[in-house]
A and B are shown apart, each in its own frame.
Chain A
């Protein structure tokens, strides 16, 4: 079925390093993207979003980059902390009459002390 894909299923980083999680999307008409964080036993939590008229957006310790030319989305986490360990999902809203978020497969981020 339709889905947003991820390059890396698991990412291991040292505490304090920067993390980069990547996502490829298939529909060039998608106009809105969100990164979610899901901790064990919990529902996905919003981290940051970006609209297609932007190529970069920053939050607290997180930055999302959007490259529409190659249909690529990335989430950068600065100074990764143990509390950042979770599964990260990108989601897209596909334009053209759709009004729903389609999620990617997810990347597990493991932060080691």
Chain B
């Protein structure tokens, strides 16, 4: 398996624009997580899905952020409108048993909002 695949690797956008980050989890994994990493706040869990259903979105910073998982092999994280403070590295991870087993991380998407 190629692991968790995220795209794009880098995204530079202007403030106010819509940004969509994409993730393909490892085949067979039932859980998918979206994390955001910044120097100030470290790795923050934004939202996670189980069997394509959002379970906990308490980490989503505000209504500008939304996440979907239309099927078992694809998820998106959308920011609309984007702001400079959204600049961060966004990671997608997947696992077999939620928080009770190892989560495998993608390479991340580095987002810069100017």
Number of A-B contacts (CB under 8 A): 61
Give every chain B residue within 8 A of A31 (Cβ-Cβ): 100
A34's nearest neighbour on chain B, judged by CB, is B102
Q: Could you tell me if A44 and B43 are in contact, using CB atoms closer than 8 angstroms?
A: yes
Q: Contacts A43-B105, A44-B105, A46-B104 given: A100-B98 contact, CB under 8 Å?
A: yes
A25 at the interface (CB under 8 A from B): no
Q: Is the interface of B mostly helix, strand, loop or mixed?
A: strand
Q: Could you tell me if A103 and B43 are in contact, using CB atoms closer than 8 angstroms?
A: yes
Q: How far is the CA of A105 from the CA of B100 in the complex (A)?
A: 20
Q: Could you tell me if A99 and B102 are in contact, using CB atoms closer than 8 angstroms?
A: no
Give every chain B residue within 8 A of A98 (Cβ-Cβ): 99
Give every chain A residue within 8 A of B98 (Cβ-Cβ): 93, 99-100
B45 at the interface (CB under 8 A from A): yes
Q: How far is the CA of A45 from the CA of B31 in the complex (A)?
A: 17
Give every chain A residue within 8 A of B101 (Cβ-Cβ): 32, 49
**Smallest CB separation, B1 vs chain A (Å):** 15
How many chain B residues have a CB neighbour from A under 8 Å?
Answer: 25
Within 8 A of B (CB), among A40-88: 41-46, 49
How many chain A residues have a CB neighbour from B under 8 Å?
Answer: 25
Q: Contacts A43-B105, A44-B105 given: A32-B45 contact, CB under 8 Å?
A: no
Q: How far is the CA of A45 from the CA of B107 in the complex (A)?
A: 10
Q: How far is the CA of A31 from the CA of B98 in the complex (A)?
A: 13
Q: How far is the CA of A44 from the CA of B101 in the complex (A)?
A: 14
Q: How far is the CA of A1 from the CA of B58 in the complex (A)?
A: 11
A1's nearest neighbour on chain B, judged by CB, is B44
**Smallest CB separation, A59 vs chain B (Å):** 12
Residues 91-105 of A, flagged 1 when their CB comes within 8 A of B and 0 if not, give 001100011111111
Within 8 A of A (CB), among B55-114: 55-56, 91, 93, 98-108
8 shortest interchain CB distances as A-B pairs:
A43-B105, A93-B99, A99-B98, A103-B43, A100-B99, A99-B99, A46-B102, A44-B105
Residues of chain A at the chain B interface (Cβ within 8 Å): 1, 3, 31-32, 34, 36, 41-46, 49, 89, 93-94, 98-106
